[in-house]
Amino acid sequence: MHATPVSIPRLNRTGRSRISYPSRRNPAAVIVGIVALIISLAASWIPSYWSDEVATLRASRLSWHELFAFVEHKDAVHAAYYSLVKLWVGAFGESELATRSLSAIAVAAAAAGLVVLVASATSVRMAVVAGLIFAVLPRTTSMGSEARSFALSAAVAVWITVILLVAARTKSWRWWAAYSALGAAGTYLFLYSVLIFAAHLVYLLLHQRVRSILVPWLIAASAAAATALPILLMSVTQKDQIAWLADQPVVNAWTILVEPAFDSSWLVAATAWCALLLLAYRAQKKAPGPQRGLFRLAGVWFIVPPVLLLTADALIGPLYTARYLSFTVPAIAILLAIACTMPARSIVAWILVAALALASVPTYIAQRGPFAKNGGSDLSQIADYIRSNAATGDGIYLQDTGSITLRPRQALYAYPDAFTATADIAFEAPFTATGTFSDRTRSLAEIGPQLVGVHRIWVVTAGSLDSDAAREAGAALQPMGFVEATTHTTNRSLITLYEG
């Protein structure tokens, strides 16, 4: 394939660097985008939903009035994403395939944009390598199969960078306006996307003759920040919703060096970091001008956001978790593509890409297992068992205490159709009344009066038969005349039928 000779920057005859815009005709971008879509979409419907995805589902089921009233108290930073998903599920339904396909499409858009971006700097070969590496990295295949906004943030980061290069080359206010608009939209979709502006600023400052570019960039970035100011301010007022980070071991070598791009794969991380360290040693000395410019762009994109986030985490309070840096994964893919294509022979590059893809396979398979989410979410397993075994009029009690990610009651929110035949004996008030994603519920000890006419109760608790919740359930129901009939163990929950 022949690449259009444009660059980010390419050296001109005077030896100075300049920034050019990407080619508008790049069929390789479409092909890589389709491949990335297939990789992310394949088997994405198998894993059970987990609590974060349940939050997406519950928000998308609200009316527009209810949704905007709810986000005034909770999850304002996700309001734009919830609105988008509401429209999406309205058209395609809320099955795992339907909801997660939006993220898979975002991954495809990011991969295609990456090909456009890299091809404008070097060659189509390196661009295809970058797009394919991005498509198979474990963080990409994770966010591409999850009903959350991380994949969208990666797509926005790629395309806003493409627009930056076009705007810098053409010096057209139309492109600067597009840059500003996409930056603001990306911030509303995922708050931490705003950090891409800092990476772009550092990149521009590294270039010669940047004065004519810096002023319009400052205006465009300031306009984006001003437009996004409401969500930035609301994130401060609702900062308590990420207070859970204080109880997590979120800042350590694993969560900084492995999880952001490589999810749980130490094998891919080790392979990639060896390549990156070799690249860092050789790139500035041996890389040609266009590759050097691409290296700088990807380098600041990869480094600046996590440094700023970790600094804020240290100075302000818990703000860091690895998934929040998903929009930096395209930058890592670019760096790895440069490393893989440094050997002159094309076959070597493709062997290295194949090796990286093979190293990703175990994690990819694990991500598509039925209990892949959140360390073993079994919400669909709970729902399937109740759908198959409960009779009309049976009572259902699902534990709603302990860590929210482990609460069996999340199954009711994830798969409500499975529980339509049963009576939710614990329900007291909906989550819209509590201002959280949890309904107000009664404990089993408080339910007595609601059990008139109920002869069978399905109790679902987290853990095994020996768990405190299971013992407390039996102790509460036995004085009411209910005895344990059968038990069934799911991946990390216990379903017990009591008859009275």
pLDDT in tens, 327-367: 999 999 999 999 988 876 778 888 888 999 999 999 999 99
Encode pLDDT of 74-110 as tens digits.
888 999 999 999 999 999 999 999 999 999 999 999 9
By the 10 Å C-beta count (0-12 exposed, 13-18 middle, 19+ buried), 368 is classed as middle
Looking at residue 278, what is its pLDDT?
81
Looking at residue 22, what is its pLDDT?
59
- In order of 167, 409, 426, 436, 495, the CA distances from 440 in angstroms are 51, 12, 8, 10, 21
Looking at residue 366, what is its pLDDT?
96
Encode pLDDT of 73-82 as tens digits.
888 899 999 9
Model confidence band, residue 466 (pLDDT cutoffs 50, 70, 90): confident
What are the structure tokens assigned to 387, written together? 């759908």
Looking at residue 102, what is its pLDDT?
98
Question: What percentage of residues in the chain have a pLDDT greater than 90?
Answer: 67
Domain residues of the chain, as ranges? 10-370, 378-499
What are the structure tokens assigned to 462, written together? 């987290």
Residues contacting residue 468 through CB under 8 Å, at least 6 positions apart? none
CA nearest neighbour of 122 among 280, 363, 287: 287
Looking at residue 14, what is its pLDDT?
38
Q: Work out whether the CA dihedral 62, 63, 64, 65 comes out positive or negative.
A: negative
What is the distance in angstroms between the CA of the first residue and the CA of the last residue of the chain? Answer: 74
- In order of 50, 68, 101, 151, 416, the CA distances from 83 in angstroms are 20, 9, 16, 16, 21
Number of CB atoms found within 10 A of residue 65's CB: 8
CATH number for the segment(s) 378-499: 3.40.190
Choice between 5 and 467, residue whose per-residue pLDDT is larger? 467
326 and 146 in contact (C-beta within 8 Å)?
Answer: no
Looking at residue 12, what is its pLDDT?
41
